[in-house]
Amino acid sequence: MVRKNQLPQFPSDYLNEKAEEYDSSKWMERNQKRSTLLSIQYLYDEKLVDQDEGDIKNSSNLLILDLGCGTGFSSEILIESGFKVIGVDILPDMIVKAKEKKDILKSPKIFELILADINYLPVRLNSIDHIISISAYNFIIHGKENYGKQVKQLTETAENLNNILKKNGRIIIEFYPKDDGELKIFKNSFINNGFDGFMVKNKPKQKSGQTFLLLKKRI
């Protein structure tokens, strides 16, 4: 059972009966939704927004890619905030739970779910306005203990995300790097591959723990 202040282990804590436990955890739901609301605020951070972008807070026509959508807690908040949403997850049990939420939402404009690997997204080039990822981006290097393989994977993924984003596209990633070294390779993978940005930590002196990357596609 996933417990408060204990990060789930990938993929074991997201499969079979663990998926049910995850989805029924009120603490997990509150945490995921709170982080999503904060990520939406970060989308409009003044350091990311150019003066020529117009009414950027009009979310009604914006398509958000929810990377690692899990059971749909984050997608729910994005839909309720007026965005069109495509949720992506690699685990079938997560997508099944997310579909249950989709089926009871009141007439969402667009809410699609895709079973796919974040590293190999079946998404058209220059088609996504913004990307949000809540508590999932760590997992793209799962099983890759070698530093070189980690860097290669992160580089390829950052390049792919750049390609599917429209001009002025932004990415907000909420994740849990295990230490400063891991945080550095995640951040550099974006900075070295077409993005500008910075990080936000609720506890700046803490080496690990919740971290937000605020990124914008470089023109």
Q: For residue 144, how many other CB atoms are within 10 A of its CB?
A: 14
Radius of gyration, CA atoms only, the chain: 16
Q: Is the pLDDT of residue 159 over 50?
A: yes
Residue 60's alpha-carbon distances to 109, 110, 135, in angstroms, are 9, 10, 25
Q: In the structure encoding, which two tokens stand for residue 7, read together?
A: 């990060």
Closest CA to 122 of 172, 163, 154: 163
For residue 205 the two structure tokens come to 């002196």
Q: What is the pTM of this model?
A: 0.90
Which tokens go with 194? Answer: 């077409």
Domains of the chain: 12-217 (3.40.50.150)
At 63-121, the pLDDT tens digits run 999 999 999 999 999 999 999 999 999 999 999 999 998 888 766 667 899 999 888 89
pLDDT of residue 51: 61
Comparing 162 with 19, the larger pLDDT belongs to 162
Going by pLDDT thresholds of 50, 70 and 90, the confidence category of residue 61 is confident
Kindly write down the DSSP assignment for every residue of 41-109, as one continuous string.
HHHT-TTT--GGG--TT-GGG-EEEEET-TTSHHHHHHHHTT-EEEEEES-HHHHHHHHHHHHHSS--S
Question: Dihedrals φ, ψ of 160, to 5°?
Answer: -65, -40
Tokens describing residue 208: 């690990």
Q: Which residue has the higher pLDDT, 16 or 148?
A: 148
